Amino acid sequence: MSNEKILSLLNEKVALKQEVAQITMAAFARLKTTLKQLFDELQAAVKKSGKAIPMEYRERGDYQVELMIADDYIVFLMQSNVFTFDGDHEVWKSSYVKDDPTRSFVGKIYVYNFLSDSFLFNRPNDIGYLIARIFLNKENHFFVEGKRQLGFLYNDFATAEFTPEAIRNVLDSAVLYSLDFDSFTPPYDRIQQISVGEVQESSLQAKIATGKRLGFRFQADTGSF
């Protein structure tokens, strides 16, 4: 009996997770290709304008890709595991998932926004902000949890497929949000105390945590998070 249960799980849930993982990996590969195209377009337009705006595209293996535009550093990170949702999540209210619960198993792609100087000056204490999570299932359907337009433009899980056009739209939204998300200086009483020893060290910059909204409640920004 126990062997039958194990084989049943292997044939159903484990195989399903492998399928979702493969689809997510393929989708992330398409995302990297599309992001490179976006970078090339922006770089050409900036060069044509004659303005000196620093830009960089960088891949870090199969699971991470990064785009730097001026002060913004956007990181796209694919998680290798497959997940489902807790019982209180809105996804369970959808007839799309009710009709086939296996559609709730998803791969995830995270989108983080950092300050470019955090990487340029190697400041490990600096803070990045999660601006979006992209969920994909076995049918290549997707939805996004995120800030502003990222949270309400891409929420039709039942019909939305992660096509090249959809990927480009999500990337455009992520870049636009990041560029429009300005840095605030933190409240005075939130700044950490600094010791004499830290002042005397050449690595002082790396010890002062910096982020676009460090010291503020990020949730106060309009969005679905």
- The helix (run of H) or strand (run of E) holding residue 76 is strand 72-78
**Helix/strand/coil (H, E, C) string of 161-186?**
ECCHHHHHHHHHHHHHHHHHCCCCCC
Beta-carbon-side half-sphere exposure of residue 189 (alpha carbons within 13 Å): 0
Q: Are 144 and 151 in contact (CB under 8 A)?
A: yes
Contact 65, 76 (CB under 8 A): yes
- Residue 134 carries which side chain, given as an amino acid letter? I
Arithmetic mean of pLDDT, 22-29: 97
Q: Are the C-beta atoms of residues 133 and 112 closer than 8 Å to each other? A: no
Query: Could you tell me if 64 and 119 are in contact, meaning their C-beta atoms sit under 8 angstroms apart?
Result: no
**Nearest residue to 115 (alpha-carbon basis) of 185, 191, 190:** 185
Dist. CA 213–CA 53, nearest whole Å: 23
- How far is Cα 64 from Cα 59, in angstroms, rounded to an integer? 6
Give dist(CA 37, CA 206) in Å, integer. 33
Is pTM, for the whole model, over 0.85?
A: no
Sign of the torsion formed by the C-alpha atoms of 47, 212, 185 and 208: negative
More confident position, 150 or 101: 101
Q: Report residue 153's pLDDT band, with 50, 70 and 90 as the boundaries.
A: confident
- Tallying the residues shown for the chain, one arrives at 225
Average the pLDDT over each of 98-102, 115-119, 221-225 and give the range with the smallest value.
221-225
Residue 5: the pLDDT is: 67
pLDDT band at residue 134, thresholds of 50, 70 and 90? Answer: very high
Q: Are 224 and 145 contacting, i.e. CB atoms less than 8 angstroms apart? A: yes
Listed in sequence order, the residues at least 6 apart from 55 whose beta carbon sits closer than 8 Å to its beta carbon are: 39, 42, 43, 46, 68, 69, 70
- Report which residue type is found at 168: R
> Where do we find the tokens 């949702």?
85
Average pLDDT for the chain:
83
Percentage with pLDDT > 90 across the chain? 60
Mean of pLDDT values over 67-81: 95
